[in-house]
Chains A and B, each alone.
Chain A
């Protein structure tokens, strides 16, 4: 029994690594966008799932990464990995002062502040015409090969899982969860909440930035509307709460489940996407507020004869 998760995990990794060698471009493209979404979701999970600061604006870092990629490739003619790294670096540079400002706001103030920040960035990108091309956008040279992008996206997911796993098992992660449960009490226990929150915010900004860069390079066109897609924000939030916010595998599970469902069922109803995803958020909140992972964990524990309700550590 104990070995099953390991075997499953190894099989998944092998499958992901080998996929581009036998699957069609369509399938690889599907998994590429799945990985991009899941990467954004892992970023959101760190700040909102673990720390409890609901952000409706992590997509601003996605746009930042997308524009960094576009500008480094289109204007500076650097190779695309430089765009990815540049986007991540800029995200850190922007997230540190932004976090310092925003994280003193709590609850709805923070949530709406971040929502407003997206608007400011998209406003900047449409008015700074000389850099971003304004409303007309920037065209990137079409991608020759999807394969390298696919592997970078897959490793970002791996990085997301790894980071979250480390956070979950570290004192840092405990500090974040203490902030989520009761910030005042955490402070009273001697947790340097400002430092912990800022660290979580900065780390969580890197993921969407890299995802945005990859996405821009694949799309080979970027304008303010495609750089700050509110729809992606919603999709990644849904992935996290569907899978289980504040869990290591939740975003992955939610992302895979929703993307596969989307591809199989909803591809036919493209114009209903927002409606369906919005309704799913509502349904998850009403009927499965904890998400899938805690549910599965409890079911497994029950089957193994443990007392239901007691926290059972996963073997995985």
Chain B
């Protein structure tokens, strides 16, 4: 492999990694604050992608402008799920198990709804075609736009969590639920907001992914695993960790796709996830903290 191809693959991996980072933050925040893994995360990504594909083919609106629509839809689904379903599960020792099973059930409801509305085929939105060249390297327009948008949303999310009162409340609950409650934070409201926020991030990621990859109703679990793997690689609750993990996964997938096959690239997330859990159970951020 010559240097040029190598650098080109690095560029592609970085661009995809940016979107993976945004996608994984949804799992990361919900898990960190509520101790719940949303198994329907990937399916919400898929649903948002399909919604945007559907509006795009009808009205030919710039898909970036549709991104808030996708986010709003998944936000609503997330809010209702937490308020009426997950929030009603007993909070005992079996809580993790029942919430996993519950989101597993929700994921199939989402899949089937998408199938009914939009069919079973692979779809994609081709809007930003072509690429920009920088020296010898090509930056595919769709991927670059998706990367920049993902970076922007990630920054906004970070600012929100860092500097707004609501963000502080969310972080407080993730550090100590009872302590936050004593300080007057309404726990159940924070949980609803957090879950909806995680779902909205899935919606944003779906809107960006549909511009660079083809999506189908069955693809959800692959993206749930990718998001989870990125979170595990980076370490729970760490922004830089999540971004580093996402870049690692993006690079690993692009390189395996090039060297072996695209099908094998789909399994990379799982293999990275296993390696990290067996070797560095705290993730990358654990290494840095040491």
- Name A's B-contacting residues (CB within 8 A): 52, 54, 56, 101, 104-105, 107-109, 111-113, 115-117, 119-120, 123-124, 126-127, 181-182, 230-231, 234, 237, 241, 271-275, 277-282, 285-286, 289
| From B85, B94, B111, B270, contact of A282 by CB (8 A) | B85
Residues of B within 8 A of A113 (CB): 270, 273-274, 277
Binds A, one of B61-69, B102-110, B141-149: B102-110
Partner of B37, one of A111, A124, A285, A289: A111
Across the interface, do B108 and A278 meet the contact criterion of CB distance under 8 Å?
Answer: yes
Which A residues are CB-close (under 8 A) to B222?
119
Do residues B108 and A275 form an inter-chain contact, with CB atoms below 8 A?
yes
Provided the pairs A119-B266, A123-B266 are in contact, do residues A237 and B229 lie with their beta carbons within 8 angstroms? no
Are B108 and A274 interface neighbours, CB within 8 A? yes
**B112 engages A278 (CB within 8 Å):** yes
B214-264: which residues lie under 8 A (CB-CB) from chain A?
A: 218, 221-222, 224-225, 228-229, 232, 261, 263-264
Q: A275 near B101 (CB under 8 angstroms)?
A: no
CB distance from B282 to the nearest CB of A (A): 13
Question: Which of A54, A120, A127, A279 is the one whose CB lies under 8 Å from B101?
Answer: A54
Given A120-B271, A278-B107: A112 and B85 within 8 A (CB)?
Answer: no
Give the distance to chain A from B263, nearest Cβ to Cβ, in Å. Answer: 5
Closest to B85 in A: A282
Contact of A123 among B94, B109, B267, B278 (CB under 8 A): B267
Please report B residues at the A interface, Cβ cutoff 8 Å. 31, 37, 39, 85, 88-90, 93-94, 96-98, 100-102, 104-109, 111-113, 115-116, 218, 221-222, 224-225, 228-229, 232, 261, 263-264, 266-267, 269-271, 273-274, 277-278
Chain B, residue nearest A108 (CB): B37
Q: List 14 A-B contacts (CB under 8 A).
A: A54-B97, A101-B274, A108-B100, A112-B37, A113-B277, A115-B225, A119-B270, A124-B267, A126-B263, A127-B264, A237-B101, A272-B116, A278-B105, A282-B106
Known: A105-B277, A278-B112, A285-B105. A116 touches B270 (CB 8 A): yes
Using Cβ atoms and an 8 Å threshold, which residues of chain B touch A285?
89, 98, 101-102, 105
Measured between beta carbons, the chain A residues less than 8 angstroms from B102 are: 281-282, 285
Asked if B104 contacts A237 (CB within 8 A), the reply is: yes
Given the complex of chains A and B, what is the CA–CA distance between A213 and B278 in angstroms? 32
How many angstroms between the C-alpha atoms of A232 and B96 in the bound complex? 23
| Contact of A119 (CB < 8 Å), options: B97, B107, B115, B267 | B267
Residues on B with beta carbons closer than 8 Å to the beta carbon of A237: 101, 104
Complex: A135 Cα to B39 Cα, angstroms: 27
Chain B facing A: main interface SS: helix
| Chain B hits for A101, CB < 8 A | 274, 278
Main secondary structure of the interface of A (DSSP, over half): helix
Q: With CB as the reference atom, state the residue of chain B lying closest to A278.
A: B108
Q: How far is the CA of A109 from the CA of B269 in the complex (A)?
A: 13
Cβ–Cβ contact B112 & A275, under 8 A: yes
**Least CB distance, A28 to chain B, in whole angstroms:** 29
- Residues of A near B263 (CB, < 8 A) are 123, 126-127
Contact residues in A for B96 (Cβ distance below 8 Å): 107-108
Q: Is the pair B101, A271 in contact by a Cβ cutoff of 8 Å? A: no
| In the complex with contacts A112-B37, A119-B266, A271-B115, A277-B100 CB distance below 8 A | no
**Chain A residues with CB under 8 A of B232:** 109
Chain A residues with CB under 8 Å of B270's CB are 113, 116-117, 119-120
Known: A105-B277, A111-B100, A289-B90. 4 other contacts (CB 8 A): A109-B277, A119-B222, A275-B112, A277-B105
Contact A52 B221, CB 8 Å, known A108-B37, A116-B269, A281-B102: no
Judge whether B267 and A241 touch: CB under 8 Å. no
Q: Chain A residues near B39 (CB, 8 Å)?
A: 56, 111-112, 115
5 A-B pairs with least C-beta separation: A281-B105, A278-B108, A116-B270, A274-B112, A275-B112
Distance in angstroms between the alpha carbons of A109 and B261 in the assembled complex: 27
Please indicate which of the listed interface residues A112, A120, A231, A271 has the most CB atoms of chain B within 10 Å of its own CB.
A112
Q: For B261, what are the chain A residues with a Cβ–Cβ distance below 8 Å?
A: 127
Known: A101-B278, A112-B37, A112-B228. A289 touches B98 (CB 8 A): yes
Shortest beta-carbon distance from A48 to chain B in Å: 8
In the complex, how many angstroms separate the beta carbon of A109 from the nearest chain B beta carbon?
Answer: 6
Complex: A65 Cα to B31 Cα, angstroms? 35
Q: CA separation between A104 and B98, bound complex, in Å?
A: 21
Complex Cα–Cα for A109 and B273 (A): 9
A274–B104 touching, CB < 8 Å: no
The reply to whether B266 and A54 contact each other, CB–CB distance below 8 Å, is no
Q: Are B89 and A286 in contact (CB under 8 A)?
A: yes
Which residues of the other chain, B, contact A286 by a CB distance below 8 angstroms?
A: 85, 88-89
Q: Does A230 contact B221, Cβ atoms closer than 8 Å?
A: yes
B225 close to A112 (CB less than 8 A) = yes
Residues in chain B near residue A116, CB distance under 8 A: 225, 229, 267, 269-270, 273-274
User: When the two chains form their complex, are residues B266 and A56 in contact, meaning their CB atoms are under 8 A apart?
Assistant: no
